[in-house]
Structure 1
């Protein structure tokens, strides 16, 4: 099992600061790296992969610096956001070339195994120039896996994939994380991160904004109300009763449902059933409308 540690890392290009004093730990399992465009995600991944040195600070793999460390490179697989493929090669040739670059004793069988893992056997004999965007993503994944790395870094791996391909990749990432590999991926498709990652790291404007399970982060946001959707047999009476209680700060009523801003979830969860019973109101739905990774992410971005 491998662990990447980023300690007080900054990276700048001239006068532009891409990453500013970031510290984080990426251990076994699946970690999602989140941030808006330009937040520094790709720069961080490049430094973790050893393709880019930090301007200050250190990036280590199992306590050994990654930059210019050949033994670290052999443990890392990278799927970059850019195409990074040779269109004139077949999928098999491309993956086998990566196996040979890693000095594998049996590059052919290793390439065939990696291609099978990403379910690209049928298209492996075709030139990459004929591939769709999603297929190119999968063949890059095979090339990254061919030497069986303990660490896998993926930059926007779901780009261009159709729903079936996304589901396959999500299952693959979960399996690798469960097997003890250290997997980190960035994505702007927040629902997929929520479904796959057991841990998240959030970067905003080059800085580390949050770390942990997204639900735990959301629970710590006590200064921001949670939004709940309620449907009942009498939304108007229910709204009148709820708005007078200190566990809520506001309510909006439309033709389809009641939206309530909640600042004390524990009190709210006990209050609603009791009110419904006392008022003779039948509850049809009580559900959070913003208890998602996208809500967490948007809130963190807004704080910066």
Structure 2
């Protein structure tokens, strides 16, 4: 059982705090690291992979510090989001070089296995400069897998992949998790995490916002207050009908938008209430649009929850 632990870790760059007092434990199985762009996900993964030292706090692998401990690299594979490849090499040469750097007894066989795992044998003799974004992602994955690590850290691994490649990679990561490996992948896309990870860690603005079973966190997101912009044929009459119901916590007229701003605290009840009340009062609904559905607003709610 391989476990990565982050204990009150922070990391800052000058006056910019990228990660702020984060504590989390990543164990066997597939864990999703979820958060909007710029939340600190890459910085966290770089600290877990030993590429960055925490400014304060600690990151350990089975109790051993990760930073400046070359022994942990036998157990960790990292797929960074940033391109860090040698375009003049072929894909096969790139993966082979990583196998040799790890000092494996048969680097050629290890490279061949890793390329087969990500289905890149057909392009192993082509220069990386000719690869698409998705192909580059898969060769980076092969280089991270070449030494058969027990921990795999992936930063936005699905970027640039076509649907078939995404499904193939998801199935591979799912199998690794089932085999007892510790797999952590970051994403800002809710659906990617939902399809692959049962356990998630949420970070927003460098802070640890939520942790636990995906369904529980999804419920927290769904149950949060929702804000709507509603235009109708009679906004004042509609406002009177809505404010009388417990599913709304606030209804106000917005003269600039010529609309109602509604704060719904019972999402399911409100979605049933609005069309019913409009019909009963002979009011035509012209526009009903959520005004807070960005990922940033959802994640920000989790921070304050």
TM range (shorter): 0.7 to 0.9
How do 1:30-49 residues align onto structure 2 when only pairs under 5 Å count? 30-49=30-49
**SS of the counterpart of 2:153?**
strand
How do 1:176-215 residues align onto structure 2 when only pairs under 5 Å count? 176-215=176-215
Structure 1 pair 179–295 and aligned structure 2 pair: CA distance change class (3 A) = farther
Structure 1 pair 82–14 and aligned structure 2 pair: CA distance change class (3 A) = same
Kindly provide the CA deviation profile for residues 216-268 of structure 1, in whole angstroms up to 9, marking residues without a partner as x: 124346972479xxxxxxxxxxxxx99976457699xxxxxxxx9975689x6
Structure 1 pair 24–244 and aligned structure 2 pair: CA distance change class (3 A) = same
CA contact (8 A) 2:223 2:267 kept: no
CA contact (8 A) 1:218 1:296 kept: no
Report whether the alignment pairs 1:60 with 2:45. Answer: no
Alpha-carbon offset, residue 33 of structure 1: 0.9
Structure 1 pair 165–220 and aligned structure 2 pair: CA distance change class (3 A) = closer
Alpha-carbon offset, residue 15 of structure 1: 1.4
CA contact (8 A) 2:35 2:299 kept: no
How do 1:1-304 residues align onto structure 2 when only pairs under 5 Å count? 1-220=1-220, 224-225=224-225, 246=246, 263=265, 298-302=297-301
Distance 1:226 1:171 in 2: 34
Kindly provide the CA deviation profile for residues 165-208 of structure 1, in whole angstroms up to 9, marking residues without a partner as x: 11111111111111111111111232111111111111111111
Structure 1 pair 226–162 and aligned structure 2 pair: CA distance change class (3 A) = same
Distance 1:96 1:111 in 2: 5
The number of aligned residues is 272
Structure 1 pair 188–167 and aligned structure 2 pair: CA distance change class (3 A) = same
Distance 1:18 1:221 in 2: 24
Kindly provide the CA deviation profile for residues 267-299 of structure 1, in whole angstroms up to 9, marking residues without a partner as x: x6xxx8xxx9xxxxxxxxxxxxx9xxx888642
**SS of the counterpart of 1:210?**
strand
Q: Which runs of no fewer than 5 residues in structure 1 stay unpaired?
A: 228-240, 252-259, 277-289
**SS of the counterpart of 2:12?**
strand
Distance 2:50 2:222 in 1: 39
Moved over 4 A (4+): 220-223, 241-245, 247-251, 260-266, 294-297
Structure 1 pair 225–149 and aligned structure 2 pair: CA distance change class (3 A) = same
Q: Which runs of no fewer than 5 residues in structure 2 stay unpaired?
A: 228-240, 252-261, 277-289
Distance 1:178 1:298 in 2: 33
| TM-score in terms of structure 1 length | 0.78
